[in-house]
Amino acid sequence: MITHAQVEDLGPDDLALMGVPLDLHSSFLQGPAFAPTRIREALHSGAANLTAEDGTDLGMTDRVKDTGDVDVFEQRGPEPIAAIEAGAGSRLDTGARLLSLGGDHSVSFPLIKAHADRHDGLNVLHIDAHPDLYDQQDIGPLGHGCPFARVMETGQVKRLMQVGIRTMNAHQREQAERFGVEVVDMHGWRADLTPEFDGPVYLSLDLDGLDPAFAPGVSHHEPGGLSTREVIDLIARFKGQLVGADIVELNPHRDPYGITAMVAAKFVKEIGARFLR
């Protein structure tokens, strides 16, 4: 089984799991703060084992360590983004790789920032129904529809590729052009797409990138998306060195029978296997 560990117990060859229980920046519904617990429950459910499709068993190695949830209010200030970046940074500074679970998509900004500070020339592969490139939302510039505008403003990300997009409005199209974002929308999707990256890659996987038939437990249902199989194949196939990843936007309040939590747990295993190669 996956062992629980303190940050100081991590080593350079380890994969650290970290929960991010935050949904304060959700524009429509709250609930993603409960995702880390639900993903862990699915991951350790008696209904499945911890083996990925390539035969990697996350439960038969001492390299996968669950470091618990980051304390999103550790800074005791009005904005928890700094606490997320600090929690990610402390884990990365051990040399471990980091797979973050849960939260709304706003959490990807501090997570990617922590990785970009430690990996020059970072590339980002972003799977989502939404480009999340808004300059502002009603809830402010750190809303879950804004993280990739904030990421690209840092100037630390060499390349951002977005896959599965199907809600691109005029403002976000302008933002994509401004930041030089490569967008593979669902009209341009093909099952044999094989992104190639030169250098380190961070994977940000929003579960609403999948069609709601496969992942109904999300706040924003957007029909016409990717299948579970297509996302699994994309995770296995893209070329580049995976250095970090997140799985976001699971909303347990909308997840009948835990279907989407089990999909998220499946992605944990497939992403974990890619880390452990």
Q: Which residues are annotated as a binding site?
A: 105, 128, 130, 132, 206, 208
Place of tokens 């030089």: 180
Neighbours of 124 (CB within 10 A): 25
Q: Which residues are annotated as a binding site for Mn(2+)?
A: 105, 128, 130, 132, 206, 208
For residue 28, CA distances in Å to 32, 179, 180 come to 11, 26, 28
Write a three-state SS string for 201-267.
EEEEEEHHHECCCCCCCECCCCCCCECHHHHHHHHHHCEEEEEEEEEECECHHHCHHHHHHHHHHHH
Contact 224, 181 (CB under 8 A): no
